[in-house]
Amino acid sequence: MPQPPPPPPPSDWRQRLTTLWREASASEHVDGHNARHFRARQILAVVGLLPMVFMGNLVGTVTIAATFWGQMPSWSLCLWVVLAVLSLVLLDRGMRGLLTGTAKPVATRRDLHIVSSSVATFAVIWAAIPVMIFPTTDHLGQLLISSVLVGMMCGGGLILSSIPIAACAYVLVMAGATAMALQRSIYVNNVSILGLLGIWAVTVMGVTMANARMFFSRLRTEAEADRQRQLIDLLLRDFEEHASDWLWEISHTGHFRHVSARLAQSFGLSAHQLLKHSFTDLVSTMLPAESTEAAAAFDQLQSHLRLGRPFRDLELPVQVDGELRWWSLMAKPLFDDRGRAAGWRGVGADVTQGRIARDEMARLANVDALTGLANRHCFSLELARVCASVETSQRGCALLFVDLDNFKGINDSLGHALGDQLLRSVAARIKACVAPGDLLARLGGDEFALLSWQAGDEASAAELGDRLLAALATPCQLEDVRVEVRASIGMALAPRDGISPQTLLQSADLALYAAKAGGRNTHRFFVPVMGESARARARLQQEMGVALADEQFAVHYQPQVSTRTGQVVGFEALVRWQHQERGLIGPNEFIPVAEETGQIVPLGTWVLRQACKVAMQWPGSIRVAVNLSAVQFRSHSVVDIVEQALADSGLPPERLELEITESALIDDHEGAQATLAALRSRGIRVALDDFGTGYSSLAYLRRFPMDQLKIDGMFVRSLDSDPDAQAVVTAIISLAKALRLETTAEGVELPEQMVMLRALGCDQVQGFWMARPMPANEIAAFLARMEPARENGLY
Ligand code: C2E
Ligand code: CA
Ligand code: CA
C-alpha cells in the first residue's frame, strides 16, 4: 500500500515545494503501479473538459478575428482561426491517442510531457496573432486582447490543473505572451501591469497546484478503496470456493442479485433458474412434503423477511436433487441511501452432517440400545406429558410395570449374550401386544414399562395384562436352549391411582411389589391398601432399629430328624420379633424389610451368635442350621462374623450349618465361590435352602459345592396328591445323591409324607409333624420326649 510522503520540516521551503509537487503528481515511487493509471486519469480529466475549451476558443478566436478584421491581412486571421481550432482538435485526438489499455487506461511520464509541450505549442499558436496585433491597435483593442489573454491564461490554467506541468507551461506561455504584448504597448505603465500579470500567473499556478493536489488525493483515496474492494472480493470468492457456506443476496423483490457457483450447487439448480424465481418461491418448492418442521421453519423465514427482522441459525430442511438436506440461514436486511428496504444479504450453510449427528444423539438419548424401545429418559418425558393430558382431558391411561421373575438366574446361568437375546425377544413379544399410540419402554435390566391409552379402564387393563402374560408364557428359544419366562405385572390407572408422574409410578411400583409377593407370574392392580402396607413397611423399618437394641427378637428352633434313625440331627434357627404392640411377628414379614435396609446384617449376626451359643447346650451330635440371607452372604465380613461366632461360643464348625438360597449365589460368581470355599474349608456345612422354587438349575449345584439340599415344602405338601410333585422330589433326591449331597425335606405335616420321603431316599425331614419351631428353653424337654417316641417307631 503506498504510503503518503512524510511531512517536511516547515522551515525548508524548497522541500515544501518538492513535497507539493510530489503530492500533485504521479510517481512510481509513491503510487506504485497506480502511477500509470493516475497519469491517464490526469489526461482524461483534461480531455473531458476539451469540448468546453473548444467552444471557448472558438468564441475567443472568432471575436478577435472579427474585431481586428481589416487591421491584419484577412488570410492571416483566417489561418489563425483555422490553426487554433485545428490544434485543439489535434490536441484532443493526440491526448486520447496517448492513452493505452481499454479497461483501465494507462499513460507514461513521457505522455504527460508530450501533452505539456502540445499545450504549450497550442498556447504559442493562440497567442501569436493577439501579440502581433497588440501594438498596432488602439487602447480599446488592447483592452480586449489583454482581457482575452488573461482570461485564457486563468481559464486554461484551471482547466489543465489536473496536469500541473502542462498547466504551468500553458500559464507561463500565456503570461509571457501577454507580457510581450504589453511590453510593446505605448499606453500602459509597463512595470505595474507586468508585476500584476506576474502575480496572477503565480496565483493561477498556485491554484492549479492546489487543485492538482486535491485531484491526486481523490485518485489515491479511490485507488485505496478500489484495492480494498478487490481484497474483499478476493476474500469472498475464496470463502465461496472453499467454505461449505454460501452467500446470498436478494433484491427488494426477493430475486437473487447474483448467483455464485456455490449457491447454484447448494440449490441444485442452474444460475438461470435461480435468477428467474424469487428466493421464497424457490425455497417453497424445495420443502420436503408433509414435514411439519419444514413448514414451520419456512413460515418463520417468511415472517422474518416480511417484518424486516434480521435472523440467524434458522434451520430449514430442503430437498436438493432428491436428497434431504438441512440449511442454516442467517441474513440482515439491506437499506438504500434513503433508508428504504433494498433486500437481504446473508449466509447459508449446509448443516446436514451436524443435524444427522444431532438427531442420532437425540435418538440415542431416547432409545434403549439393546431392545430399540424407548428408554427411561424418554419414558419419563412421555409420562409427564401423559399425566398433564390426563388431567386436562380426563381420559384414562394405564401404567404397567412388567418385571421378569427369573431373569437374573437365566442371565447368570446362560451368560449375558443369551440374557440380552432373551430381553430382546421379551421386548418383541410385549411390543406385539402394544396398540399404536401407546409407549413401551425398557427402564433398565428386566424392567419394562407400558403407558397405554387403549387400556385406560380396569377391564381393558386387566385384559392387556392377561395378554402380556400369555405372550410371555411360551418358552423362548435362545439358540439351542429353551427358556421359561415368567413376569409379574403391576398396574396403575391414571387418574384413579395418581395424577402426577410420581404418584402414578409409586402406585404401579407397589402393584408390582404385590404381584411379586403374590406368587409371581401374575398381574395386580394398585389398591390403596398397598400404599398402607408400604407405609407399614416403612414403619417397620424404623422400629426394627430400636427392636434390635432392645433385644425384642427371639430365636426359635425347629428340629430336623433323620428318616433312617428317627434321631434329631439338628435344629433350624428361625427368628421371631416380639413386637411390643403387635405381639409375635413372623420373619416373612420383617426379613424382606431388613434386607431392603441392610439391617439384616446386624440382625443375622445376632441370630447366628445366639444360635451358636444355644447349640453348645445340646448333645454333641446335634447341629444348628442358621439362615443366611443373600445380603449377609455377599457382605465382605461374612466369614469373619461366622468365625467370630464360633470362636466366642466354642461351637465346633462341623456343628454349624448355614442355609443359603440360590439368590445369594447369582450376580457375583467368583465372590460366592470364594465365600463358600472359605466357609467349607473351615469345616462349616452349607445347605441350599428352598430348592425347587427358585432358578433350581443344575448349574448352581455343580458350580457351588455344598453339603445339603433342602427340598421346598411346596413339593412335600402335594406329594400324595400330585404325581408331578412326586416326580420332582424323586428327581431332586436322585440328583442330590449323584452330587453326594444330603437332602432335607421341609414342611412335613403328615406321617404319610414322611413315609413317602423315607421311601424315596430323603435323608432328613423337618416339619410340623415332628415339631413346630420352639423357644430354646423347650428343647431339652423336646429331646427327652423324642427319645421314647423314636424308639416306639413313631418317626
Ligand atoms: P425357611 O428357611 O424355609 O424356614 C422354614 C419355614 O417353614 C419356617 O417359617 C418354618 O416355621 C416353616 N415351617 C416349618 N415346618 C413347616 C410345616 O410343616 N408347615 C408349614 N406350613 N410351615 C413350616 P418361618 O419361621 O416363618 O420362617 C420363614 C422364613 O423366614 C424362613 O424360611 C427363612 O427364609 C426366613 N428366616 C427365618 N429366620 C431367619 C433368620 O434368622 N435369618 C434369615 N436370613 N432368614 C430367616
Ligand atoms: Ca431355612
Ligand atoms: Ca426353606
Q: Does residue 550 lie in a domain region?
A: yes
SS3 525: strand
Q: How far is CA 292 from the centre of its chain?
A: 21
Which pLDDT band, with edges at 50, 70 and 90, does 552 fall under? Answer: very high
Domain total in the chain: 4
Instruction: Using alpha carbons, list the distances in angstroms from residue 131 to 173, 183, 729.
Output: 12, 10, 150
Q: Does residue 55 lie in a domain region?
A: yes
Instruction: Judge if 515 and 549 occupy the same domain.
Output: no
Which pLDDT band, with edges at 50, 70 and 90, does 404 fall under? Answer: very high
Domain CATH code at residue 314: 3.30.450.20
- Give the residue, by CA position, lying nearest to ligand 1 atom 17: 747
Instruction: Judge if 482 and 567 occupy the same domain.
Output: no
408 Cα to the center of ligand 2, angstroms? 22
Q: In this predicted structure, what is the pLDDT of residue 187? A: 64
Q: In this predicted structure, what is the pLDDT of residue 794? A: 59
Q: In this predicted structure, what is the pLDDT of residue 262? A: 84
Query: At residue 291, does pLDDT exceed 60?
Result: yes
Q: In this predicted structure, what is the pLDDT of residue 3? A: 55
Q: Does residue 783 lie in a domain region?
A: yes
Which pLDDT band, with edges at 50, 70 and 90, does 234 fall under? Answer: confident
Among 467, 499, 526, identify where a domain stops.
526
- Give the residue, by CA position, lying nearest to ligand 1 atom 15: 767
Query: At residue 100, does pLDDT exceed 80?
Result: no
Instruction: Judge if 675 and 580 occupy the same domain.
Output: yes
Average pLDDT over every residue of 83-91: 88
Q: In this predicted structure, what is the pLDDT of residue 460? A: 93
Query: At residue 692, does pLDDT exceed 60?
Result: yes
Average pLDDT over every residue of 595-608: 92
Ligand nearest to the CA of 576: 1
Most confident among 116-125, 141-150, 652-661, 724-733 (mean pLDDT): 652-661
Q: In this predicted structure, what is the pLDDT of residue 150? A: 86
Percent of the chain with pLDDT over 90: 51
Query: At residue 662, does pLDDT exceed 80?
Result: yes
Query: At residue 422, does pLDDT exceed 90?
Result: yes
ω into residue 495 within 30 of 0, thus cis?
Answer: yes
Predicted confidence (pLDDT) per residue in 671-686, tens digit: 889 999 999 999 999 9
Query: At residue 711, does pLDDT exceed 80?
Result: yes
Lowest-pLDDT choice from 282-291, 305-314, 337-346, 567-576: 337-346
Q: Does residue 312 lie in a domain region?
A: yes
Q: In this predicted structure, what is the pLDDT of residue 793? A: 63
Residue 153 makes CB contacts below 8 A (sequence gap 6+) with: 170, 171, 174, 175, 178, 200, 201, 204
- Is there an atom of ligand 1 within 6 Å of 587 CB? yes
Instruction: Judge if 546 and 517 occupy the same domain.
Output: no
Lowest-pLDDT choice from 58-62, 418-422, 600-604: 58-62
Instruction: Judge if 345 and 371 occupy the same domain.
Output: no
Residues facing residue 489 across a β-bridge: 402, 523
Instruction: Judge if 352 and 371 occupy the same domain.
Output: no
Residues in the chain: 795
Lowest-pLDDT choice from 97-111, 119-133, 168-182, 493-507: 97-111
Lowest-pLDDT choice from 235-239, 596-600, 629-633, 726-730: 235-239
Ligand nearest to the CA of 610: 1
Q: Backbone dihedral region of 583: left (phi > 0), alpha (psi from -120 to 50 degrees) or beta?
A: left
Query: At residue 795, does pLDDT exceed 70?
Result: no
Q: In this predicted structure, what is the pLDDT of residue 565? A: 92
| Ligand 1 atom with least separation from CA of 555 | 41
Q: Does residue 304 lie in a domain region?
A: yes
Q: In this predicted structure, what is the pLDDT of residue 57? A: 84
Q: In this predicted structure, what is the pLDDT of residue 697? A: 64
Query: At residue 5, does pLDDT exceed 60?
Result: no
Strand 742-745 vs strand 708-711: parallel, antiparallel, or unpaired?
Answer: parallel
Q: In this predicted structure, what is the pLDDT of residue 696? A: 57
pTM: 0.50
- Is there an atom of ligand 1 within 6 Å of 501 CB? no
Q: In this predicted structure, what is the pLDDT of residue 242? A: 66
- Is there an atom of ligand 1 within 6 Å of 694 CB? no
603 Cα to the center of ligand 1, angstroms? 16
Query: At residue 339, does pLDDT exceed 80?
Result: yes
Instruction: Judge if 128 and 69 occupy the same domain.
Output: yes
Query: At residue 254, does pLDDT exceed 80?
Result: yes
Q: In this predicted structure, what is the pLDDT of residue 674? A: 92
Ligand nearest to the CA of 716: 1
Average pLDDT over every residue of 235-248: 75
Instruction: Judge if 42 and 62 occupy the same domain.
Output: yes
- Is there an atom of ligand 1 within 6 Å of 574 CB? yes
Q: Does residue 229 lie in a domain region?
A: no
746 Cα to the center of ligand 1, angstroms? 9
Higher-confidence residue: 777 or 634?
Answer: 777
Ligand nearest to the CA of 607: 1
Q: In this predicted structure, what is the pLDDT of residue 395? A: 87
Q: 576, 746, 764: which to mutate for ligand 1, most atoms within 8 A of CB?
A: 746
CA–CA gap between residue 267 and residue 350 (Å, rounded)? 10
- Is there an atom of ligand 1 within 6 Å of 604 CB? yes
Among 223, 251, 273, identify where a domain stops.
223
Instruction: Judge if 554 and 676 occupy the same domain.
Output: yes
- Give the residue, by CA position, lying nearest to ligand 1 atom 20: 747
Domain CATH code at residue 397: 3.30.70.270
Instruction: Judge if 456 and 484 occupy the same domain.
Output: yes
Among 193, 223, 253, identify where a domain stops.
223
- Is there an atom of ligand 1 within 6 Å of 713 CB? yes
Instruction: Judge if 508 and 544 occupy the same domain.
Output: no
User: Which of these, 144, 145, 349, 156, lies nearest to 243 by C-alpha position?
Assistant: 349
Q: Does residue 12 lie in a domain region?
A: no
Residue 18 makes CB contacts below 8 A (sequence gap 6+) with: 8
Q: In this predicted structure, what is the pLDDT of residue 781? A: 95
Buried b (16+ CB within 10 A) or exposed e, 417-446: ebbebbbbbbbebbbebbeeebbbbbbeeb
Q: In this predicted structure, what is the pLDDT of residue 235? A: 77
At 577, give phi and psi (nearest 5°): -115, 115
627 Cα to the center of ligand 3, angstroms? 9
Show the domain range for 66.
17-223
Which pLDDT band, with edges at 50, 70 and 90, does 533 fall under? Answer: confident
| ∠ CA 270-274-279, rounded to 5° | 150
CA–CA gap between residue 197 and residue 191 (Å, rounded)? 10
Domain CATH code at residue 657: 3.20.20.450
Q: In this predicted structure, what is the pLDDT of residue 667? A: 64
- Is there an atom of ligand 1 within 6 Å of 767 CB? yes
Q: In this predicted structure, what is the pLDDT of residue 56? A: 84
Q: Does residue 414 lie in a domain region?
A: yes
Strand 323-335 vs strand 341-350: parallel, antiparallel, or unpaired?
Answer: antiparallel
Average pLDDT over every residue of 140-148: 85
Q: In this predicted structure, what is the pLDDT of residue 98? A: 82
CA–CA gap between residue 336 and residue 629 (Å, rounded)? 85
Instruction: Judge if 400 and 473 occupy the same domain.
Output: yes
